[in-house]
Amino acid sequence: QSALTQPASVSGSPGQSITISCTGTSSDVGSYNLVSWYQQHPGKAPKLMIYEGSKRPSGVSNRFSGSKSGNTASLTISGLQAEDEADYYCCSYAGSSTFEGVVFGGGTKLTVL
Amino acid sequence: EVQLVESGGGLVQPGGSLRLSCAASGFTFSSYWMHWVRQAPGKGLVWVSRINSDGSSTSYADSVKGRFTISRDNAKNTLYLQMNSLRAEDTAVYYCARDRSGSPGRWWGQGTLVTVSS
């Protein structure tokens, strides 16, 4: 099972919007609407920001949104704030004749300028 | 309040074994799939394994298949990860997480550090 592909880093200024992509295959992102996104600050456990592609858990700001097109999922953060600076990971359920489980992306470091 | 508390990490020699535990509280443990996810120092998250609610179905990453075994005791509200034939590349913080739609969800433990070194 190959990891999902994310850009290593993205950056934006306060108030701007940024988008992080997450590219998989037809065995994971492309076949299931089961992509999750996590935010992780240094030394902390990951925090779920988006699940099932576009749903937000209670308490997560509506500045965070998720979408998917084909084999690529995306996380958009609007109105960037300093506290959004963190690592972001995508994750998808994956199922094929040879593997059934979960795959993560390599992570994207978001810098708020 | 949902809580997941991992324990059992530590220093182990290459080829050795370790069993991690994850004590769950604040929810009906027996109703949820559970996952183990690890993170090597300075690296990204990597999914390790998952188990269904009654323990009858498990799945593993290729990197640990045949060496690690996930299990659970629903009477004790505890998830386990038995790790055998440990390698240096297994060094990581290991997190347990409650499932949401087939992937780790909102609730994660604080992690337990496993160091494989001679």
Question: For residue A25, what are its two tokens?
Answer: 């295959």
CB-CB neighbors (< 8 A) of A48 in chain B? 100, 104-106
CB contact under 8 Å between A93 and B45, yes or no, is no
Would you say B63 and B73 are in contact if contact means Cβ atoms under 8 Å apart? no
CB-CB neighbors (< 8 A) of B47 in chain A? 91, 101-104
pLDDT over 90 percentage in chain A: 86
Type of residue numbered B25: S
Please give the sequence-ordered ranges of beta strands (E in DSSP) within chain A, or none if there are none: 9-12, 18-23, 35-40, 47-50, 64-69, 72-77, 86-95, 100-104, 108-112
Answer yes or no: is pLDDT of A99 > 90: no
Question: Across the interface, which of A51, A104, A107 has its CB nearest the CB of B47?
Answer: A104
Name the average pLDDT for chain A. Answer: 95
Question: Which residue's entry shows tokens 């994207």?
Answer: A108
Please tell me the distance from the alpha carbon of residue A95 to that of residue A86, in angstroms, as a whole number.
29
End-to-end CA distance of chain B: 40
The tens digit of pLDDT for each residue in A9-53 reads 999 999 999 999 999 998 899 988 999 999 999 999 999 999 999
Out of A23-37, A60-74, B30-44, B103-117, pick the least confident: A23-37
Torsion of CA A35, A39, A42, A46, to 10 degrees: -60
A41 touches chain B (CB under 8 A): no
pLDDT over 70 percentage in chain B: 100
pLDDT value, residue A110? 98
The tens digit of pLDDT for each residue in B46-90 reads 999 999 999 999 999 999 999 999 999 999 999 999 999 999 999
The tens digit of pLDDT for each residue in B7-34 reads 999 999 999 999 999 999 999 999 999 9
CB < 8 Å from A in window 57-96 of B: 59-62, 95
Please tell me the distance from the alpha carbon of residue B50 to that of residue A113, in angstroms, as a whole number.
38
Answer yes or no: is pLDDT of A1 > 80: no
